[in-house]
Structure 1
Amino acid sequence: MSQAIRWGILGTGKIAKAFASALKDTPGAELAAVASRSADSAAAFAAEFGAARSHASYQALADDADIDVVYIATPHPMHHDNAMLCLRGGKGVLVEKSFTMNRPQAEEIIALARQKKLFVMEAMWTRFMPAVQEAKRIVDSGEIGRAVQVNADFGFAADFAPEHRVLNPELGGGALLDLGIYPLSMAAFFLGAVESVQAQAQMGPTGVDVQTAFSLRHEGGGLSACSCSLLARTPTELTISGSKGFVRLHDRFHNTEEISVTLVSGAARSSRSIVLPRSGNGYAHEAIEVGRCLRAGLIESPIMPHAETLALMGVLDTIREQIGLRYGADRNDG
């Protein structure tokens, strides 16, 4: 591997552009190549973000010998095939969330990565934010007592046409996979593995969920209450509570720069705020972790390990079963 981590980006949509911008804020990273199914789209993306090469097919990117790792930036239903393609080409992958459409697909990706000894990670960028890492340190320190409860929401009013990715079942639409993955992943990050889940949803006219609420029981006994919505602009906050107080990640918790710690003892109450700026648009932090892992010869990140990605995909499958949300990939997997 060269000194710089040589990135490829598969896809040229909004999230791909955000990640390409973040690579400029990532020490020791270079955008080596981009791929699209359109030569013009790939060339325009490469020119805008300074990629050394552009490819008119995903296969060409997978075959590019001068790439260390590929960021998969396509819609959810394409993640499995795109990741498998790149792994077969000998490339590590950072796969945008939701990681896949279901757990069986995730198992195939991780099995191939382990067989080939290649890096793979779910792109849950929130876990790597400085403010979130500090919140985790505070919770683990015991300052708020034993953490036993998480409350988290993520919602916005999606004023989109029915064919838009967020509402289109053929593109993996729905509140759960697009937004609910955040409260779910963060609840597990702070309280540990999920033991059981109960969910309810409001389904929309396109057949996907437009609001979902779910409660989690964690293996350590803690409980989480989570919700996601494409109908309401919710507070989008996350609170971790223990016997001595609580830590709150404020508005747009998924990329917040501010947390507060409140301690309560009888009638006494004290609060402090902590501001921890993110780098650029925030995506650089997960890219930095990928680079660290690659240089260390790791095939998974301890912050977003394979086992947890698999477990959370399984929880999402259970929630979808409870609310009656099915996709084409489920039929393909029997």
Structure 2
Amino acid sequence: MTQQSQPKKIKWGIIGLGKIANSFATDLSTINDAELFAVASRSQEKADAFAEKHGATKAYDSYEALANDPNIDAVYIATPHALHKENAIMCLENGIAVLGEKPFAMNAEEVDAMIAKAKEKNVLLMEALWTYFLPHYQFVLNELKNKTYGNILKIESDFGFQRPYNTETRLFNKAMGGGSLLDIGIYPIFATLSTLGLPKNIEAAATFFENGTDSSCNMVFSYGNNVKAHLKSSLLEVLATEAIFYCEKATIKINTMFHMPTTVSIIIDGKEEIKDFGYSTIGYNYEAVHFNQLIREGKTESDIMTFEFSKQLIKTLDDVRGIIKLEY
């Protein structure tokens, strides 16, 4: 009996070294068969500090330099939304598998271009919508798919927090895709599309900051049989940030900060059972483990976060933007 060989250690690069990149790097260190090999910023000083903090071998002062490093198997793109397409295509051109932070890009046209390039180069590409891979979310998806509590009658989901208005930051920078919809509105929309699919009709209304960036967005997605999803994103107020699925025989509630590791409540006849999933990480390791496995299996597309789903998600965001007249 031959001893099984150790799985290939996936060497990662990270482009864009902000808050989310720090979280991803922290969780990547918990995966035995992966390593953070290189990081890139527009500032050498920032790249050096990040590399030292997270134990990366290389620190580059340009994204292009990282994309040209032949040692890198996979890259996590955590730059502002407006740069996702450019950065992804640059890495795909060099044969590097790309895990691109959500939203995948600014619009459907950009996403289509990224997918076309991935197919042309036969290289793995996936949108990094980490929630899809979290155990609590997979549990809820399975309960809903199996109709454990009957059909979905209604969905309520929101995401909101308040930050001081500052156009110097990416969050409020319209040119960088800032605003509530692309940054956090994507999560309630994701919760709906991943459970009910594309809506038959969308209603939407938004408020705006003085620079034209959307400050809040209220949406109603209508499906057949009077099933509706009531969704909201806001940078003006703290919201519950839950995803609630009202079913025929129970209510399934993904509790506050539903998009990240949390608990799930099953409510039947007023009685609540809380399911805890024993998380010990920030939660980014789950998508990274999935991505590593796709690389080892020679896959070029995820069977969970498929190209088709990413296309549906960005198209829905485009549709909402069209209704509220938000242009970048």
Instruction: Report the TM-score, using the length of structure 2 for normalisation.
Output: 0.94
Q: Is the 8 A contact 1:190 1:240 kept in 2?
A: no
State whether structure 2 residue 13 is matched by structure 1 residue 8: yes
In the TM superposition, what is the alpha-carbon distance from 1:133 to its structure 2 partner?
Answer: 1.1
2:325 counterpart residue number = 324
- Quote how far apart the aligned CAs of 1:299 are: 1.4
Q: Is the 8 A contact 2:99 2:126 kept in 1?
A: yes
Distance across 1 between alignment mates of 2:202 and 2:266: 28
Q: Which residue of 2 aligns with 1:332?
A: none
SS at structure 1 position matched to 2:76: strand
What CA deviation, in whole Å up to 9, does each residue of 1:199-251 have, x standing for no partner? Answer: 11011112111010111134797421110000010111101122111210001
Change in 2 beyond 3 A, CA 1:46/1:256: closer
Residues 30-45 of structure 1 mapped to structure 2, 5 A cutoff: 30-45=35-50
SS in 2 for 1:166: helix
Residues 140-191 of structure 1: CA deviation (Å, up to 9, x unaligned): 2222101242110000112232222111112211100011000001111111
Kindly indicate whether residue 136 of structure 2 is the aligned counterpart of residue 125 of structure 1.
Answer: no
Decide which of 67, 91, 94 is 1:86's aligned counterpart: 91
Select which of 227, 239, 250 maps to 1:245: 250
* Local SS of the residue matching 2:170: coil
Matching residue of 2:160: 155
**How many correspondences in the alignment?**
323
Flag structure 2 segments of 5+ consecutive residues without an equivalent.
Answer: 1-5
1:115 aligns with 2:116: no
Q: Give 3-state SS (helix, strand or coil) of 2:293's partner.
A: helix
Structure 1 counterpart of 2:149 = 144
**Unpaired segments ≥5 residues, structure 1:** 328-334
CA contact (8 A) 1:130 1:277 kept: no
8 Å CA contact 1:144–1:241 kept in 2: the answer is: no
> How big is each residue's C-alpha offset from its partner over 1:98-149, in whole Å with a ceiling of 9 and x where there is no partner?
1111110000001110121111111111111111111112222222101242
Kept in 2, the 8 Å contact 1:62–1:90? The answer is no
Letter in 2 for 1:260: S
The answer on whether the counterparts of 2:38 and 2:56 sit within 8 Å (CA) in structure 1 is: yes
What is the CA–CA distance in structure 2 between the aligned matches of 1:120 and 1:27, rounded to whole Å?
22
Matched AA of 1:288: V
Name the counterpart of 1:304. 305
Find the residue that maps to 2:200 and give its secondary structure.
strand
Counterparts in 2 of 1:122 and 1:218: CA distance versus 1, 3 Å: farther
CA distance in 1, matches of 2:265, 2:106: 35
CA distance in 2, matches of 1:298, 1:221: 39
Alignment of 1:153-302 (within 5 A): 153-218=158-223, 222-264=227-269, 269-302=270-303
Counterpart secondary structure, 1:194: coil
Corresponding position of 1:25? 30
Q: Is the 8 A contact 2:157 2:242 kept in 1?
A: yes
Secondary structure (helix, strand or coil) at the match of 2:244 reads: strand
* Contact 2:261–2:283 under 8 Å retained in 1: no
The whole-number CA distance in structure 2 between the counterparts of 1:27 and 1:188 is 33
CA distance in 1, matches of 2:115, 2:153: 31
Task: Letter of the 2:110 partner, please give it.
Answer: Q
* Residues 103 and 310 in structure 1, CA contact (< 8 A), matched pair in contact too: yes
* Partner Cα distance (1:214, 1:57) in 2: 39
Q: Secondary structure at the match of 1:7?
A: strand
- Cα RMSD between the aligned structures? 1.7
Give the CA deviation at 1:270: 3.8
- Structure 1 115/176 Cα, relative in aligned 2: closer, same or farther at 3 Å? same
User: Partners in 2 of 1:159 and 1:104 — Cα distance?
Assistant: 32
Instruction: Give the aligned residue type for 1:313.
Output: I
- Kept in 1, the 8 Å contact 2:14–2:40? The answer is yes
Deviates most, 188-197 or 32-41: 188-197
* Per-residue CA distance 1:68-123 (angstroms, 9 max, x = gap): 11000100001010001000111111111111111100000011101211111111
1:33–1:55 contact (8 Å) kept in structure 2: yes
Write the letter of the residue equivalent to 1:37. Answer: R
Rounded to whole Å, the distance in 1 between the matches of 2:160 and 2:304 is 25
Q: CA separation in 2, counterparts of 1:5 and 1:41?
A: 24
With over 3 angstroms needed to count, the CA separation of the structure-2 counterparts of 1:12 and 1:28, relative to structure 1, is same
